Structure 1
């Protein structure tokens, strides 16, 4: 289940990351630098989430964190399915920041759950499988969303027509993210208390996954 969620997380992350800069450039008329700067809030949100996601996953369990994170990713993708060329930037920047927070947690929670109960010698294999699942999800997400976008924007030339085509692609991205929410229920729940009364953290698996993800990024 962790690998499947990371696969879907890769679709959510990379599929939308392909759409967002193109949307800012083609619909809003930004240049490449301007589009990149407008995506900074999402990166800041993801960076902030990595400092908290591992801690809360060990405390509350991967299931709760993943359900909340994937649901929030889907919710914060919805605004981009309905924005127009004249939508205010502050609304979009706020949505991107919250989306970054959710994406960071959505990657850390299932990755931490993938290491629960593993022997030390099994951890390298799990690391390879989780990373591969995420990268494959990214490839599939980009390919699928690109095909949807190509068909949705065929013959569109005005900003409003392009915005409608991009809205279709964002709706697909939202639906693909929403599919992950019920799958999150298959992840481990709240860790059982250890002998000392504190929640068991499986040797800090979520925090270790957080550090491993940051090192690989």
Structure 2
């Protein structure tokens, strides 16, 4: 019997060994820390600014600095994974994330807090793809969907519960606990990591391309920063928006030209020559945009349009996270059984079908109906976004996973930034035009549905690429 090739559906009977599940459980701790930390800190910005005596324009850098630093370290994670044991890289990044969380909690000034958030973002940018690399190498392509489905629970569930957890913490404790909550997660994950993570090693020998780091890391960070400034300026033509985006795109173009001709590039962009990987990452760009855009839009929808408080908003969003948690394991099994392309086509169509009704509901829509739609959107996300990530990783060879995980995460972050910027532009233009408050949210939800439809269309291309790969390497 010939083994299935990367990018092809696996045998349903292929059982996952216990050590792979243990590895997944350990890595999930780190994923929960990274995703929960973002939503918790965003909620606490106003409280942090008041306590440290800093204006909102300054304290917003607590969130922005983290994202920019994460964009830089994502580009060098593949190189680090080749220089050291990948599990050692993950443990080191996790330890750094935990220590910088403590430093953030005891920051005496806003400037100190912003600086420690930069260090925390650098650690997170190494920890997240390193964990995914460990999982991908342990699971193999035939089991990628089921294993990544477990990790996806953190990706969808942690941000969904973040507002409720953050609101409760701020109601009873001070803001440093938003960072100190990472400490028990980090200590448990480190202990489990020493015990259970396999000693997986990448391919050593590459020298660090410093110019590539500047072009790629600076380019990604500049694009994300410029797009995020749309939310504060309300315009795509403002200098703080278009100049960073233009410089970032120029940097990324320079990096692509440099990497295409390099024998040992910082990131192997030649992976885009793989049709299945190219289609999966392209579809993931739009699916990630719809998911991250929704995570920003939904809290605003409840807080601004419905006038609900912080804790109540968090409770209202639990239905979305619960739907994802319920469906993600099943989505992983379906991905391994039928292929990520086929599952993602239907999953992203389902996301659009669940989100689109929100573009027509009145401002006083029935609360039960809203909860049902959010639960349905969570269910659909479980079979829409993660199969694309699984397909991208399954399409490459084992030694290519460090580059693949970095590229997938970069595409998701940029896609999320584009979607968030789109939401910000729509809402600000609607307010400036004197529309009814609900009209801007209607248009924003319609835009997210359109992103999901685009992801579904791109997933059709992925399905075709996977089918051709299967035809070239059939199971005898």
Superposition TM-score tier, normalisation by shorter sequence:
0.7 to 0.9
- Superposed CA deviations along residues 24-49 of structure 1, whole A, max 9, x for unmatched, are 11111101111111010100111122
Q: How does 1:56-205 map to 2 (within 5 A)?
A: 56-154=334-432, 156=434, 161-188=436-463, 189=466, 194-195=475-476
Q: 5+ residue gaps in structure 1?
A: 196-217
1:104 CA displacement: 2.1
CA distance in structure 2 between the aligned counterparts of 1:150 and 1:10, rounded to whole angstroms: 22
- Superposed CA deviations along residues 90-118 of structure 1, whole A, max 9, x for unmatched, are 11111111111111222211111112342
C-alpha RMSD of matched pairs (Å) = 1.8
Structure 1 runs (4+) deviating above 6 angstroms are: 190-193
- Superposed CA deviations along residues 51-78 of structure 1, whole A, max 9, x for unmatched, are 1111110101112200111101111111
1:194 CA displacement: 4.1
Could you say if the C-alpha distance between residues 117 and 137 of structure 1 is closer, same or farther in structure 2, counting changes exceeding 3 Å? closer
CA distance in structure 1 between the aligned counterparts of 2:396 and 2:306, rounded to whole angstroms: 48
CA distance in structure 2 between the aligned counterparts of 1:139 and 1:117, rounded to whole angstroms: 26
- Residue 385 of structure 2 aligns to a residue whose secondary structure is helix
Q: 5+ residue gaps in structure 2?
A: 1-278
- Residue 313 of structure 2 aligns to a residue whose secondary structure is helix
CA distance in structure 1 between the aligned counterparts of 2:293 and 2:336, rounded to whole angstroms: 29
CA distance in structure 1 between the aligned counterparts of 2:389 and 2:403, rounded to whole angstroms: 13
> Higher relative contact order by CA 8 Å / sep ≥ 6: 1 or 2?
1
- Superposed CA deviations along residues 113-155 of structure 1, whole A, max 9, x for unmatched, are 1123422111111111111111111111101111111101236
- What TM-score do you get using the length of structure 2 for normalisation? 0.39
Residue of structure 2 equivalent to 1:48: 326
> 8 Å contact 1:153–1:166 — kept in the other structure?
no
CA distance in structure 2 between the aligned counterparts of 1:147 and 1:34, rounded to whole angstroms: 26
- Residue 383 of structure 2 aligns to a residue whose secondary structure is helix
- What TM-score do you get using the length of structure 1 for normalisation? 0.82
